[in-house]
Amino acid sequence: MRLRVCHLYPDLLNLYGDRGNVLVLCRRAAWRGIRVELEAVSLGECVRFTDYDLVFVGGGADLEQGLVARDLSRKGPYLIEAAQAGVVILSICGGYQLLGRFYRTREGREIPGIGLFDIHTEAGEKRLKGNVLLEADPELVAEMRRINPGAPATLVGYENHSGRTFLGSGVRPLGRLLKGYGNNGGDSGEGAWIKNAFGTYLHGPLLSKNPHFADLFICRALSRRYGEVSLAPLDDSLELQAHEVAKNRLLKSRQGKI
Amino acid sequence: MNAVDSGSVRKKGVRNQVKPGAVLRLLLAVLLGKLVAFCCRLFRYPGTSLPGHTALKVFPRLVEHLAGGYQKVIAVTGTNGKTTTANLIAHVLREAGFRVAHNSEGANMLPGVAAALLRDCDLLGRISSQVAVLEVDEGSVGKVFAAARPDLVVVTNYFRDQLDRYWELERTTGLLREAVSKLPGVTLVLNADDPLVAAVGRGQEQVLYYGVEEQSCTGSLFTEEPVPANSGKGHDWSALCEVVSGDRLISGGGIAEIFGETREGRFCSFCGSPLTYRCYHYGQLGDYSCPECGYRRPRPDFAASGVKCGEGRLSFTLSVFRSEDSFISLLGKIDTFSNRGGYGRERHQVEAPLRGFYNTYNLLAAAAAVLTLGVSPATLQKAVSTYTPATGRMEEFFLAGRRCTLALVKNPVGANQVLRTVKESRASKALVIAINDLAADGRDVSWLWDADFALLADPSVVRIICSGRRAADLAVCLKYSGVDTGKIAVVPEQEESLKLLSQEEAGEFYVLATYTNLFTYARLLRLGKVVADSEAQGLPSLS
C-alpha cells in the first residue's frame, strides 16, 4: 500500500511546528508498513492534486501568506477538483483561511480565497491565543472509534490567530469548544469540515497529541484507492498521555488559558 | 589599567536635572525598590525584576533618570546569545578597570533593567558605576531604549522565539528599527551574517558589522553540508522517502533531515525576493545576497576566521578591518588606551572557555563592542580567557561524580545548536530535558517540532528524561524524531528527574531547560542536594 502526501508551500507556510503533522502522518503510516511518498509543492509549480491521497497546508507569517495567496488563486481550481474527487485536505490556521471564500482586512479590503470551504474570515483586534480543548463532532468520534476503539472524544491543541472565521451553510465545525476561542470566539465552534476537506486553527502540532485524529486522515486518504482499510493498532501511550495531560489541565483551569 | 574618573566625563544631557517634586518621588522610588530587594533576599526569592517593578510604579522615569548618569550605556538585544554577549562585554569592561552596572540575571525588560540600576545606586539615587551594560528583551526595545538611551546597541540575531509573544519576526525587527530611529548618534554593532539584523543597518550613520568568514563555513565543525537557500524547496524530500519506506522506526531520520533546518529571513528585507547563499553557518546566518536588488551581506569590520571549538574552549582569529580613526572611542578621549597602536588589518587570536560553535558569534559581538568602545585588543584577549559562563549557558556542575552541563533551550535554532554540541561529545550521555510553558517560556510549545531532536537519536544517548509542565509533549516529539521509546522517560517533577538522571549509567549528563526551569535546576545542581555523593558546587551565586 502506498500513501501519497503533498505538502503545500512547506517553505513559506512553516510556522508553529505545523510540519510536525506531516511527520506524524508519515511515521504512523510507515510504522504500519505503508509506503509513504511525500512531495513538496510551492510557488509556481503545477501539479495534479488528484495524484495525491492527502494534501497538507499550514500557516505562515503575513509576508509569506501574501505570496501564497496570489499563487493559490491559480492552483485553487485544481485543488477544488481534487477535493471533489475525494482527496483528503488538511489545512491549518493561515492555510485554513486561504481555502475559504475571502479574508477581510481591518481596512475592509477583501482578499479572495479559493472558496474550497464556504467560510470567510475577518481580521480582529485582539489576538486569540491559548490552549484549546474541544469535543469532536459525534460523526468524527464514531469514525475515530471504528479505527481505534479506545479513541478519546476530544481534540487538544494551541491556537494563535487574529482572524475570526465564520462558517457558511453545509460546513460543520470540527467540534464544540470546551476551552478556548476557536473560529471566532463567539459561536463555540472550532475548525470546519465538509466531506474530506478539513480546516482548523489548532497547532501543537494538531496530530501529535491527537493520534486518533491522525489515523482518521490516514484511513480516509487510503480508502479512495484501496477501499475500506483497517489500520494495525500502535502503542499510543505517550501520545495519549500528552493528550490527557493537556485535557486535564484545561478542565481544571477556570478560564481555559493555562 | 586605570579606570576613568567617574566624575570627569558625564553625559551632556540634562536628564539628570530633576524638578524638586520629582526628586522626592525618585528618592521614594529608590528607597522602596531597595526595600523590596532586601525583602526578596531575606525570603530567598530571586527578585530580579520585582524591585524595579515597584520603583517604576512610584517613579516611572526612574530608568531615564538613572541611565542618564552613566558615561556610556551599552545595550545588547536579539533572540539568542544576549546574555552571553552582554556578560562578556561587562566582564571585559570590568577587567579593563571600569565599574559596570549590568542586569546579569537575564531580567531584560524595563523592570529588570530598573532593578539592575537600582542595585547600582545608593539610597540618595546616586549611581556608582561608570558604564551600564544592559541586556534588552527584543520585544522591550521600544520602552527600554527610550528610557535608557543607549550609545551603543549590539544586535545578535533574530530567530523564531516565543511567537505567541512577538508574533512574527517582521514585527520584532520593526520594533528595533523604530527604537533605533529615535536614538540620534547611536552606534550600531550588527551581525553581518544575519540578513534580518544586517538590514537594520541600512540608512544608519554609524554602523559596524561583525561576521564569521567563509573558511569556517564548511569546516570540520559539523558534517552538515551547506544547503543553497534557493535550490528547489530547500528540503531533501528524497530523504523522507528512504526514512519512512523502511518497515520500522529508523533512528536519525528526523524532521530536519526531511524538512531542512529551520531558517528565517530567507527573503530579502528590501525587495522580498528569495536570498541566495554562498554558505550557511547555522540557521539563516551565512553569506547571502539578493539576486534581484543586489542587497548582500555587508563586509564585516570585525571578522572571525579559523574557528576552533572543542574541549570546552572556543578560539578564532579576529581580523579588524578599520583604521583607528574610524573607531569611536566611546569612552571619551581619555588616554587610558593610548597604547592601542594602529588597527589597520590587525589580527588577534581570541580564546575563551566557551562551548559550542554558536558562541563564536557571542564572543565576536562582544569583541566588536569593546574594541569599538576603545578597549585594547590585549585587554580583550586577557579578559575573555577568564570568562565564566552565565547560569545555564553550558554551565558545568558535577552530579554523582560526573560532569553535568546545564543549558538553556528556548527556540528551535538555539536548541539545535545545543543539541549539536551535546552530540559532538563522544562520551555516552543521559539527559534531562525540561519544557515549561509559562509566560516567560512561551505558552506555545509547538516550537519543539521545529527543532532537530533527531540529533539525539544516537547510540551515545542512553536515556532522555522528559521533565517540566510539558514533559509529555516533548516525549511525543522525541518519539516521532526517531528516538527509541525505550530510552524515553516522562518525569515532570524537577527534583525527581535529577534523581533519576544521577542513577543513569552514562559518561556525562546534560540538563536542557526552558527559562522558568533553568534557575530551579541550577539551584538543585549547585546545592548538590539531589544525591548524597554529589558535592556542593563552589560556584558564584546568581546575584
Q: Which of these is catalytic: A7, A161, A203, A212?
A: A203
Residue B426 grid cell: 563522544
- How far apart are alpha carbons B80 and A106 in whole angstroms? 33
Quick: pLDDT tens for B419-431: 988 988 889 999 9
Provide the edge-to-edge strand list for the sheet that holds B313-320.
B100-102, B131-135, B72-77, B152-155, B187-191, B206-212, B302-310, B313-320, B347-352
Residue B469 near residue B436, CB atoms below 8 Å:
yes
Residue B501 near residue B509, CB atoms below 8 Å:
yes
pLDDT the model gives residue B26: 87
Report the residue count for chain A. Answer: 258
> Torsion-angle region of residue B453: left (phi > 0), alpha (psi -120 to 50) or beta?
alpha
Strand partners, A176: A135, A189
The packing angle between helices A237-252 and B471-480, to 10°, is 150
**Is A7 among the residues known to form the active site?**
no
State how far the alpha carbon of A208 is from the alpha carbons of A236, A246, B456, B488, in Å: 10, 12, 19, 16
State how far the alpha carbon of A102 is from the alpha carbons of A121, A122, B149, in Å: 6, 8, 44
Quick: pLDDT tens for A84-138: 999 999 999 999 999 999 999 888 888 889 999 999 999 998 989 999 999 999 9
Residues of B in contact with A33 (CB under 8 A): 247
ipTM: 0.95
- How far apart are alpha carbons B528 and B495 in whole angstroms? 11
Residue B462 grid cell: 542512553
Strand partners, B191: B210
Window A:119-148, CB contacts with B under 8 Å:
127, 129-131
Q: What residue type is assigned to position A86 of the chain?
A: G
> What's phi and psi for B320, nearest 5 deg?
-110, 115
- How far apart are alpha carbons B358 and B194 in whole angstroms? 13
- Helix (H/G/I), strand (E/B), else coil: A190: strand
Q: Which residues of chain B have pLDDT under 50?
A: 1-15, 216-257, 333-343, 531-543
CA proximity to A13, closest of A37, A33, A40, A31: A40
Strand partners, B463: B430
Residue A12 near residue A43, CB atoms below 8 Å:
yes
Residue from the list B168, B246, B262 with its beta carbon closest to the beta carbon of A61? B168
Query: Domains along chain B?
Result: 20-213+300-384 (3.40.1190.10), 215-289 (no CATH), 393-527 (3.90.190.20)
Quick: pLDDT tens for A204-257: 999 999 999 999 999 999 999 999 899 999 999 999 999 999 999 999 876 544
pLDDT the model gives residue B406: 94
Q: Does residue A63 belong to the interface with chain B, where contact is any CB pair within 8 Å?
A: yes
Return all residues near B337 (Cβ < 8 A) that are at least 6 apart.
B329, B374, B375, B376, B379
Could you tell me where the DSSP H helices lie in B208-274?
Answer: 237-245, 255-259
Residue from the list B233, B267, B476 with its beta carbon closest to the beta carbon of A40? B233
Q: Which of these is catalytic: A6, A26, A93, A219?
A: A93
pLDDT the model gives residue B265: 56
Q: Does residue B240 belong to the interface with chain A, where contact is any CB pair within 8 Å?
A: yes
Residue A168 near residue A114, CB atoms below 8 Å:
no
Q: Does residue A44 belong to the interface with chain B, where contact is any CB pair within 8 Å?
A: no
Residue B64 near residue B110, CB atoms below 8 Å:
no
- How far apart are alpha carbons B158 and B194 in whole angstroms? 8
Q: Does residue B255 belong to the interface with chain A, where contact is any CB pair within 8 Å?
A: yes
Please give the helix or strand (H or E) that residue A132 lies within, else none. Answer: strand A119-136
Nearest CA in chain A to B257: A23
Q: Does residue B238 belong to the interface with chain A, where contact is any CB pair within 8 Å?
A: no
Three-state SS letters, B326-353: HCCCCCCCCHHHHHHCCCCCCEEEEEEC
Residue B521 near residue B406, CB atoms below 8 Å:
yes
pTM over 0.80, yes/no: no
Q: What residue type is assigned to position B269 of the chain?
A: S
CATH superfamily, domain A2-252, is Class I glutamine amidotransferase (GATase) domain (3.40.50.880)
Q: What residue type is assigned to position A148 of the chain?
A: N
State how far the alpha carbon of B441 is from the alpha carbons of A157, B513, B517, B528, in Å: 17, 10, 9, 25
Quick: pLDDT tens for B2-39: 444 333 344 444 445 567 778 888 888 998 888 888 88
- How far apart are alpha carbons A61 and B169 in whole angstroms? 8
> What's phi and psi for B333, nearest 5 deg?
-85, 55
Residue from the list B443, B449, B475 with its beta carbon closest to the beta carbon of A238? B475
- How far apart are alpha carbons A166 and A184 in whole angstroms? 7
CA proximity to A116, closest of A58, A170, A184, A43: A170
pLDDT the model gives residue B539: 37
What residues does each domain of chain A span?
2-252
Residue from the list A19, A27, A30 with its beta carbon closest to the beta carbon of B449? A19
CA proximity to A48, closest of A85, A101, A99, A97: A85
Please give the helix or strand (H or E) that residue B154 lies within, else none. Answer: strand B152-155
Quick: pLDDT tens for A16-31: 888 899 999 999 999 9
Put simply, the answer to whether B168 touches A15 (Cβ < 8 Å) is yes
The residue whose grid cell reads 557571542 is: B362
Residue B19 grid cell: 524638578
Interior/surface letters B451-468, b for 16+ CB within 10 angstroms, e for the rest: bbbbbbbbeebebbbbbb
Query: Best mutation site among A21, A27, A258 for testing chain B: the one with the most B CBs within 10 Å?
Result: A27
- How far apart are alpha carbons B87 and B1 in whole angstroms? 20
Residue B216 near residue B281, CB atoms below 8 Å:
yes
Nearest CA in chain A to B448: A17
CA proximity to B197, closest of B38, B56, B82: B82
Residue B266 near residue B240, CB atoms below 8 Å:
no
- How far apart are alpha carbons A258 and A246 in whole angstroms? 9
- How far apart are alpha carbons B266 and B275 in whole angstroms? 6
Q: What residue type is assigned to position B79 of the chain?
A: T
- How far apart are alpha carbons A33 and A49 in whole angstroms? 24
* Residue A214, min C-alpha distance to chain B (Å): 13
